[in-house]
Amino acid sequence: MTEHEKAILITGASSGIGEATARRLAADGHRVFLGARRTDRLEELSQEISNDGGTAAFRRLDVTSAEDMRSFVAAGRAEFGRVDVLVNNAGVMPLSPLEALRVDEWDRMLDVNVRGVLHGIAAALPVMRAQGAGHFVNVASTGAYEVVPTAAVYCATKFAVRAISEGLRQESAGGIRVSVVSPGVTESELADSITDPTARDAMTAYRAVALPAAAVADTIAFAVSRPPEVEVNELVVRPAAARTR
């Protein structure tokens, strides 16, 4: 249990890294406010956390809507009295070669992976500035450091998350901290959104060695748990058995 309980908002909390992060941070003694589109899963997760002695609440959230994100942050603040941490975790990964011209999927990645993070910053930054403290944890990917075939647009969105995060860090004086957590291949539902057959088959083989989502949650918990005078800017976590993932 932590000595410094925080109010933590998590996007994309209905599965994968978001769900694991909610469980880990609640177990550490933090209060978690969960957002995602699948409210049935959020309700079940919140109940399980409460049954285990933690504190959790939830609200439906579509990160592609700036208004929805503002309402989510406002609801989290009303629930817990403040917003200490926002974990911008929601993401999609419908990989495909550029020549497949899946423009709708490109747009979806830009909307969720980039605009979703920007909407989170726009909603939470004024609250954190008013408090005099706060912490953004933006989940990127090892795709933020390299580009591979079928992943050009996905990697571009994750490069953008790193760039936005670094800009926010440089512009944020005082008590507002910014961390980027970049996982390698991780057990999650991200690959379920891949519709291109070639990319889907490649990802099946690629994911043969993967991190458990709990390992990424542990990394996020580390960043969140640092004392106020310490800012962990970037953490990259990969499966130990995979040299290029």
d(C-alpha 111, C-alpha 119), whole Å: 10
Q: Exposed (0-12), middle (13-18) or buried (19+): which is 98, by Cβ within 10 Å?
A: exposed
Active site residue 206: no
Among 182, 184, 183, 206, CA closest to 194:
206
Neighbours of 104 (CB within 10 A): 9
d(C-alpha 138, C-alpha 229), whole Å: 19
For the chain, how far is it from start to end, CA to CA, in angstroms?
32
Tokens of 155: 């990697």
Neighbours of 163 (CB within 10 A): 13
19, 154, 220, 221: which one is catalytic? 154
Tokens of 60: 């439906």
Residues labelled as active-site residues: 154
